[in-house]
Amino acid sequence: MGRACSSAKRSLPLAVLAAALLLPAAAHPAVVTRGSVGEAYVTGAKAGAKLTLTRDGRRLATGTADRFGSKIFYELRPGSGYRVTGGGSSGRPFAVMGKGANPKASFFKRIRLKEGLNYVKVRDGVELAMTVRLPAGKKLTDGPFPTVIEYSGYQVAAPGNLLSSVAGAIGGGSAASDPLVPASSTAVGSLIAPLLGFATVSVQMRGSGCSGGAFDLFGLPTTYDGYDAVEAAAAQPWVKGGKVGMVGISFSGITQLFTAGTRPPHLAAITPMSVTDDTYSATGYPGGIFNKGFALSWIRERMDDARPAPEGGQPWAKALVKAGDRNCRANQRLRLQTRDAVKLSRENPYRTPSLYDERAAAAWIGKIKAPVFLVGQYQDEQTGGHFVESLGELKGNPDVWLSLQNGVHADSLGPSTITEWVEFLKLFVADEVPSIPSSIRGLSGELYRYLADAPALPVQQSKLADSPSVAQAMAAFRRYPRVRLLMDNGAAIPGSPGAIGAAWELTHGAWPIAETSPTTMYLGEGGALRPELPAAASASYTADPAARPKQTLPGSGAEDAWKAQPPYDWAPLAAGKGLGFTGPVLERDVVIAGPSSLDLWVKSTAKDTDFQVTLSEVRPDGQETYVQNGWLRASHRKLYPKRSTALNPVPTHLKKDAAPLPAGQFTLVRVPVFPVAHAFRAGSRIRVTVEAAGGDRPRWDFATIDDGKAVNTVSLGGAQPSKLVLPVIAGDDARGTPLPPAGALRGQPGRAYSPASNGG
C-alpha cells in the first residue's frame, strides 16, 4: 500500500538550503561515533573528511563523511574495540551490538511519552518519532488505556487527525491536503484502534519521516527498533496492564512479524494483515524473476521517502522542518547514508543469504511467542500469496488464529474478519469482554466504500459481547477454529458481485491442513489433464511475453484493484505462445488448500527461459476464473531436497546452484505454484497453462529474459511425464454453496474460456 511520490531533480541551491537547515546551529558540532546492531555511524564530522574504522588497532574500512558530516559503516561483527578516526573524531572506543543484546528494563522506564508527537532514543541513540493517539475526547489522565503500536515506514507518526480527514471525505467533501495527516495506509492504528477505545503509539521507522537514522528495509537496527518501541510504550504509566499489542496492514503488518520475532517481554499480541514473508521469493524475485512492477515502484517510493527533509522526504517531515522542529531537522543527518535498495536488489538477482536472510519475515516467524491473529489474501495484488508458505513455522505457538481468503490487499480489513480481529485485541490486549461499538457497525458500509470503493457485508456484533466475564469470553474464543478458509469472497451478496465478504468458510485446527493429500494429474496430448499416465508425446510453444498485456490492470488502472468490478484485461493465450491442459468435467467438488507443483520435463532452444504457470477453473457457462500463479526461471531449478515436498518445491535461488538447461535433452523443472484455497465445483474443469511470464497479475511486471525467440518443448507421458500436483482436501466439498457468478470473486479475474493451440 504505497503512495506515489514525485522525484523532482535536486538543484544546487536546494542542496545548499537543505544542508543549512539540517546542520545544527553550532558551527562545529561534536563528532559522535556510535555502534548499532551490526553497524556503526558517525555524525558531526567535517564534510568530505576521510574517516577510518578500526578494531583493536586493525583497520577495517575507510569512508568519506557526506555533506552533512555523516557516515555509516555496515555489516560489522558485534563486539567492542571499535574506533573511528578523522574528521575531528576523538577516536573514542565503542561497541557494535549483536542480535538480542537488548537494553535493561531501566532503559525503557526512563522514557516518558506524552499525547501527540514524541522523540524517543532507542538502544543505539537514534531518535524515533512516536505519536500517541488517544480515544476521542480522552486525555492521558483518563487512563490507563489498552494500547497498541503501529510501526511503519509510511507516513505513520504524522501528528494530524486522520479521522477528521476521512469524515470529511465520507460526508461528501474532499479530504483536506494537510501534510500533517497520517497516510490512509496507517488507518488501522491512527483511526480504527482509537474508535475501539485503544490508545495507539504510531512509530515511524528509522530513516523516514521525522525519525533519525538511515532507512534500510528490514535491516537489523530496524527490526530491533520494534523491540525498543514495544518496551518503551509498555513502560508508560497510562498503558493498561503494562503490555501492548501491535496492529496494521501491509508495511505495518510485516513489521509485526519481525518485531514479535525479537520476543519483547511486554508484547501482548500481534495482528498482522496483508503481509509478505520474503523480500526475494515472495515479491522481489518470484521464481527468480525480477518484479519490475509493484515491487520496484514500492522500493523507489521508499527511497523517495528516505530523502532528507525539507529537500525531499515525507510531507510531514518537510512541513515540520520548515516550521522549525529541531528534532526532526537533526534527525535528517544520516539520510544521505541510506543504502540504495533499488541498486542492492538489482545487483543481487540471486538469493544472496547475507542480504536477504535477515530481511525475510520467514526467518523471524518461527521465533514468535506472542499470540497471533493473521489475515491475508492469496491473490493480493501487492504482496502476493507466498506468505502462506511460512505459516507452518507458527506450529509451536499455542495461540495462533489464521484467516485466509481470496481477494485483494485491502480485504484483510473486511467484514468477514474484522469482528474476530476486535475480539482478539479486546481479549489479549485490553482484557475486556469484546464488543463492536454501534457507531462502527453503522458506519462500516460507508467506510468500506471509502477505503475500497466497494459494497460489503455488514460488520457483525461479537458473539462474545454478552459474556459475563473476560475469562469466559476468552475460553469461548480459544474454542474458535484456528484456521478459517474464507471462501468465495465477493459472492456473498446476491446481485452485488465483488462485494467484500466471504460467502462461506471451511475451518481446520492447524496449518498446513492435515487432511490435504497430494493429488496428481498428468499433462497429456491434445491438452488433456488426467490422473492416468498418458502415452509418450510432447508439445511446444514460443516463450513470448509480448503476446499478452504485461499486467491485468496496467498504469492508472492499478488503483481499481480494490473495486467490486475492476476492469481486468486478462487476455487468453495467444496462438502458439503457451500450452493449456484442461481436465475432464468434475463429477464432484474438489477443494484445494496450500501450494501446488507443476513438474515439467522440458527442453528449450535457449540456455535459459522463464516459466509462468496459471491455475484456473473452466466453468460450465464457458467462463474461466483465475485461481493462482507460479513462476520459475529454468536456471534456478535446483531445490532444497529436505525442504521440498511433492506439493511444494523450494528452489535455493543461490548463484552457485544456477545452471543452464542442457541442450537438446529434457530436464525436470518443478515450478512452485503459490498457495491458494479454492473450491472447483462439480461441472467445472481444472485447467493449468504454461506461458511466458506476465499477463496474469494486476500490478506485477516481470523483467523476463524471454524475447519471443525461445521455443520450449514439454514432455508428456511416457518415461518423462509432466504433471500437476494439487493439495486436495480429502472428502471436502463446497458445502452445497452454488457456483459464484462469473467475475464475482475478488482478486480473481474472469474471461471467456479459449483453448490453447495444443487443445487444452
Q: Tens of pLDDT along 27-59?
A: 456 999 999 999 999 999 999 999 999 999 999
Which residues are CB-neighbours of 430 under 8 A, at least 6 positions away?
Answer: 146, 197, 198, 240
Query: What does the pLDDT look like over 672-685, one tens digit per residue?
Result: 999 999 999 999 99
Mean pLDDT over 519-524 rounds to 99
pLDDT of residue 17: 37
Task: Name the H helices within 496-588.
Answer: none
Percent of the chain whose pLDDT exceeds 90? 91
Determine if the peptide bond prior to 272 is cis (ω within 30°).
no
> What percentage of the chain's residues is helix, strand, coil (to nearest 5)?
25, 25, 50
Averaged pLDDT for residues 62-91 = 97
Q: Residue 257: name the closest of 140, 348, 383, 143 by CA.
A: 383
Of the pLDDT bands very low, low, confident and very high (cuts 50, 70, 90), residue 24 is very low
Question: What are the tens digits of pLDDT across the range 336-377?
Answer: 999 999 999 999 999 999 999 999 999 999 999 999 999 999
Of 1-5, 178-182, 640-644, least confident by mean pLDDT is 1-5
pLDDT score recorded for residue 569 = 97
- Residue 18, pLDDT > 90, answer no
| Residue 65 three-state SS | coil
**Residue 608 identity (one-letter amino acid):** D
Contact status, residue 673 vs residue 613, Cβ threshold 8 Å? yes
Measuring CA to CA, how many Å separate 244 from each of 285, 309, 369?
35, 31, 14
How far is the C-alpha of 218 from the C-alpha of 254, rounded, in Å? 9
Per-residue DSSP letter, 104: P
Residues 654/660/666/668 CA torsion (nearest 10 deg): 10
- CA-based nearest residue to 489, from 419, 416, 418, 552: 416
End-to-end CA distance of the chain: 37
Q: Which of 250, 386, 417 is nearest to 675 (CA)?
A: 386
Q: Are strands 578-582 and 685-691 parallel, antiparallel or unpaired?
A: antiparallel
pLDDT digits (tens, 9 = 90+) for 446-460: 889 888 889 999 999
Task: Flag whether pLDDT at 15 surpasses 50.
Answer: no
pLDDT greater than 90 at residue 278: yes
Q: What is the per-residue pLDDT for 165?
A: 79
Residues 6+ apart with CB under 8 A from 492: 416, 457, 499, 501, 502, 503
Residue 472's alpha-carbon distances to 326, 372, 399, 576, in angstroms, are 50, 20, 17, 63
Q: What percent of the chain has pLDDT over 70?
A: 95
pLDDT at 174: 58
Go through the domains of the chain in sequence order and give each one's CATH number: 12-96 (2.60.40), 516-752 (2.60.120.260)
User: Could you check whether the bond before residue 286 is cis, i.e. omega within 30 degrees of 0?
Assistant: no
Buried b vs exposed e over 664-681: b needs ≥16 C-beta within 10 Å?
eebbebbbbbbbbbbbbb
User: What value does the mean pLDDT take over residues 227-249?
Assistant: 99
The strand pairing partners of 171, in sequence order, are: none
Q: What are phi and psi of 405, to 5 degrees?
A: -155, 160
* DSSP-assigned letter for residue 214: -
pLDDT the model gives residue 452? 86
C-alpha cell at 56: 583493536
For residue 10, name the pLDDT band (cuts at 50, 70, 90): very low
| Phi, psi of 351, deg, nearest 5 | -80, 85
Lowest mean pLDDT among 7-16, 63-72, 471-480, 676-685: 7-16
- The length of the chain in residues reads 760
Q: How far is Cα 119 from Cα 106, in angstroms, rounded to an integer?
A: 18
Q: Where are the alpha helices (DSSP H) in 438-514?
A: 438-452, 470-478
pLDDT category of residue 11 using cuts at 50, 70 and 90: very low
Confidence of residue 22 (pLDDT cuts 50, 70, 90): very low
DSSP state of 482: S
With a CB cutoff of 8 Å and minimum separation 6, the contacts of 561 are 381, 408, 409, 553, 698, 699, 747
DSSP string, 361-382: THHHHTT--S-EEEEEETT-TT
Q: In the prediction, which pLDDT does 446 show?
A: 85
DSSP H helical segments within 247-379, as ranges?
Answer: 251-261, 294-305, 315-322, 326-330, 341-347, 353-356, 362-365
At 29 the pLDDT is: 66
DSSP 353: H
Taking the CA atoms of 15, 21, 27 and 32 in sequence, report the sign of the dihedral they define: negative
Q: Read off the DSSP letter of residue 521.
A: E
d(CA 561, CA 746): 9
Task: Provide the pLDDT for residue 28.
Answer: 53
- The residues near 291 (Cβ < 8 Å, ≥ 6 apart) are 283, 284, 285, 700, 701, 702, 703
List, in order, residues 6 or more apart from 534 with CB less than 8 Å away: 522, 523, 524, 525, 528, 716, 717, 718, 721
Cβ atoms of 293 and 285 closer than 8 Å: no
Residue 209 has what pLDDT? 99
Q: How far is residue 218's CA from residue 300's CA, in Å, rounded to a whole number?
A: 15
Contact between residue 409 and residue 294 where contact means Cβ atoms under 8 Å apart: no
| pTM summary value | 0.95
If we measure between CA atoms, which residue out of 406, 426, 213, 205 comes closest to residue 308? 213
Predicted local confidence at residue 173, as pLDDT:
60
Residue 383 · residue 274 · CB < 8 Å: yes
Q: What are phi and psi of 473, to 5 degrees?
A: -65, -40
- Over the stretch 614-651, which tens digit does the pLDDT of each residue have? 999 999 999 999 999 999 999 999 999 999 999 999 99
What are the distances in angstroms from CA 162 to CA 186, 367, 694, 739?
9, 34, 37, 40
Determine which of 147-161, 169-183, 282-296, 618-632 has the lowest per-residue pLDDT on average.
Answer: 169-183
* Cell of residue 193, nine digits: 484502534
3-state secondary structure of 351: coil
Q: What is the largest CA-CA distance in the chain?
A: 83
